[in-house]
A and B are shown apart, each in its own frame.
Chain A
Amino acid sequence: MAVLAVFGLPVGSSLTSLWNGSFGTPLGWSRSLVKASPLLLCGLGIGIAWKAGVFNIGGEGQFVVGGLFGGIALAVFRGAPPFVLTVLILLSAAMGGALFAGIASWMHQKRGVSVVISTILLNFVAVQLLLFAVQGPLKQTRDSLPQSETVPEAVRLARLSPQSDLHAGLLIALATLVALIIWNRYSVAAKELALVGSAPRVARANGISAEKIQRRAMAVSGALCGLAAGTEYLGINTVLDQGFSQQFGFLAIPVALMGMLSPAGIAVSSLGFGALYAGSQQMGRFERGGDTVIFVVQAVLVIGLLIANRPRASEASA
């Protein structure tokens, strides 16, 4: 509320549209879930990398390249049966994200370049690559609009209800969530990953290869961001164009942080941020600047969380 007031947005009516656009109405709920699913996938991806001590800021680039690979898969496997094509597109999208994340891993491990810096720069590269593709190689042939061919109806992800945009991407995100929760609970690799992130020296002393684990964590991270793009491509956008990325890979960083990097926490925070996103779009329809204010709200929440969880002096110097 304070944030709204600072920017001179009318607090009362803004909150009403924020509420109606998110949890206040059935349509709002479905809109929130539509935004929450890619945030959940990307957030899980970012979470796993950060947990392993790799500060992947490149979710956005991995998302965009995932979409690009999805588009390429559609063009290459055009003749395949619809369901097979759907699966191939999703797999390609995940692979694209993983490969793009792999560049940052390689730069870090072989050339000593900070992942934070390389992934940020790669985000910009990804966006331009996508633009290049939709203006040239992947451009549709109907008219001069710089966008890719539309995904055929039969290849798209199924709608969960005829009235809303809610699609099977939500189920994919939830399945990934469950898989990660189980993996976290029962696998040794998950424990090793957490150890590499929190106490790299202890991990090394126990013969765990930090490099290998971080490389894999980064690949999974990129794959999940790419998969998120695949579900958006097949479930919502159905074309690739300039507006394909809606900053999901970028917003996933605060989502993962607010979720304390744990899958269950990320599920809760992606729902919260999904609602905030959907609600702020509703707000943006009535008030100029109503939709960009979401970034401020997110930043304030993250900073609040950081301060609340700050390391105490005694721990930090130990």
Chain B
Amino acid sequence: MIAIEILRFSVPLALAALGEVVSERAGLINIGLEGIMLSSALVGYAVAASTGRPELGLLAGLIAGVVVAAFQAVLTVGFALDQVVSGVAINLLALGGTSTVYRRQFGALNPSPTLPTLGGLDIGPVLVLLFAVAVGWGLYRTKVGLQMRASGEAPRSLEAIGTSVKQIRWMAALAAGALAGLAGAYLTVGLTQTFVENATAGRGFMAIALVTFGRWKPLWVVLASVLVGGAEVLQYRLQLAGLGVPTPILLLTPYLVALIVLVIAGRGAGAPAMLGRAYENSHG
């Protein structure tokens, strides 16, 4: 079923993008998303393959995501360093770290077991639905959601009423890390059952693009993910069908689709005003 395939391929993008929505709404552009996903993809796969329990793989990936995100938050929130530079460094660290660990340890590990399915669907799309609702509800209907949005729009005002901006940003960063971790683990545990070097191949970056395209709104972001996930599936299908379209042209479609939608979406109306700005307490 191509619909189910599209849904499943959208899962890593959608989960990562939902996490990115939380992060960006709080004012943090999480450039390290790719690195977080990559780390979790390796950890999730390793745990699932060695224990034979895919659900433990997902859980381990989630935890790994939180750990890497915490490290990034030490830089971007704790030290209030430049978010882009910190993110680039995190990605480099994750790429080097996972490749080195993989080459040294996992040369010949077996494929990890598949997740249990119901009517062809595993838990992935369910998680996306669940978290889309949770993120939407959390951001718009809870106090902490309001504080997060304020941290992205007007951090000084938030601090003026006695709320710690850093604390709120820490929470957003960790939540984004958990979702990115789940996304990375689902990529290996749920979809490929194996790890290759640079397994994420830009999906984290794509998820960041999707947040802009989806206008920082959880539901739109999920729909955008399904669109790009669909392009990815289409590309595999066409490759299998052997229609003579050169493989590289097919492989660049998802990236091209993401670029084109960004151009069409145009100027980032709805972007948090203080997105990407480091925040330092005024009485630090």
Residues of chain A at the chain B interface (Cβ within 8 Å)? 7-9, 55, 57, 107, 111-114, 116-118, 120-125, 128-129, 131-132, 135-136, 253-254, 257, 288-289, 292-300, 302-303, 306-307, 310-311, 313-314, 316-317
B252 touches A129 (CB 8 A): yes
**In the complex, what's the smallest C-beta–C-beta distance from B224 to chain A, in angstroms?**
13
Supposing A8-B104, A113-B212, A117-B208 touch, asked if A296 and B96 sit within 8 A by C-beta, the answer is: yes
- Using A257-B85, A295-B93, A302-B88 as known contacts, list a sample of 13 further A-B pairs with CB atoms less than 8 Å apart, ordered by residue number in A: A57-B84, A111-B262, A121-B206, A128-B251, A135-B247, A293-B100, A295-B95, A306-B79, A306-B82, A311-B80, A311-B278, A314-B284, A317-B281
Closest chain B CB from A297 CB (angstroms): 8
How far apart sit A28 and B80, CA to CA, in the bound complex (Å)? 40
Contact present for B75 and A128 (CB under 8 Å): no
Q: Chain A residue with minimal CB distance to B280?
A: A316
Of the candidates A118, A135, A299, A313, the one whose C-beta lies within 8 Å of that of B248 is: A135
Residues 54-101 of B contacting A (Cβ, < 8 Å): 75, 79-82, 84-86, 88-90, 92-93, 95-97, 99-101
Interface of B, secondary structure class, is: helix
Given A289-B100, A295-B99, the answer on whether A129 and B281 have CB atoms closer than 8 Å is no
Contacting pair B80 A7 (CB below 8 A): no
What is the bound-complex CA distance between A316 and B166, given in angstroms? 14
B212 touches A316 (CB 8 A): no
Q: Is the CB of B281 within 8 A of A7?
A: no
Cα A89 to Cα B246 in complex, Å, equals: 26
User: Among the listed A117, A136, A288, which residue makes an inter-chain contact with B212, where contact means beta carbons less than 8 Å apart?
Assistant: A117
B22-56 to A contact mask, C-beta < 8 Å, 1/0: 00000001010000000000000000000000000
Q: CA of A129 to CA of B252 in the docked complex: distance in angstroms?
A: 8
**Across-interface contacts of A307 in B (CB, < 8 A):** 75, 79, 81
Stretch of B108-116, B125-133, B136-144, B263-271 lying at the A interface: B263-271
Query: Are B99 and A292 closer than 8 Å at their CB atoms?
Result: yes
Chain B residues, Cβ within 8 Å of A107: 259, 262-263
Partner of A120, one of B75, B95, B202: B202
CB <8 Å contact, B268 and A289: no
CA gap between A190 and B209 in the complex, in Å: 32
Determine if A289 and B104 form an interchain contact, defined as CB atoms under 8 angstroms apart.
yes
Alpha-carbon distance A39/B259, docked complex (angstroms): 28
A316–B248 touching, CB < 8 Å: no
**What are 30 of the A-B contact pairs (CB < 8 Å)?**
A7-B97, A7-B104, A57-B88, A113-B262, A113-B268, A117-B212, A117-B262, A120-B202, A121-B205, A121-B262, A122-B255, A122-B259, A124-B201, A125-B255, A129-B252, A131-B247, A254-B88, A257-B85, A289-B103, A289-B104, A292-B99, A295-B92, A295-B93, A295-B96, A300-B93, A306-B82, A306-B86, A311-B80, A313-B284, A316-B80
Residues of A close to B92: CB separation below 8 A: 254, 295-296, 298-299, 302
Checking A112, A136, A254 against B266 with a beta-carbon cut-off of 8 angstroms, the contacting residue is A112
**Among A7, A124, A316, contact of B100 (Cβ-Cβ < 8 Å):** A7
The verdict on A128 contacting B248 (CB below 8 Å), with A117-B262, A289-B101, A306-B86 known, is yes
A112 and B268 contact, CB distance less than 8 A: yes
- Tell me if B249 counts as interface (CB < 8 A to partner A): yes
B246 engages A7 (CB within 8 Å): no
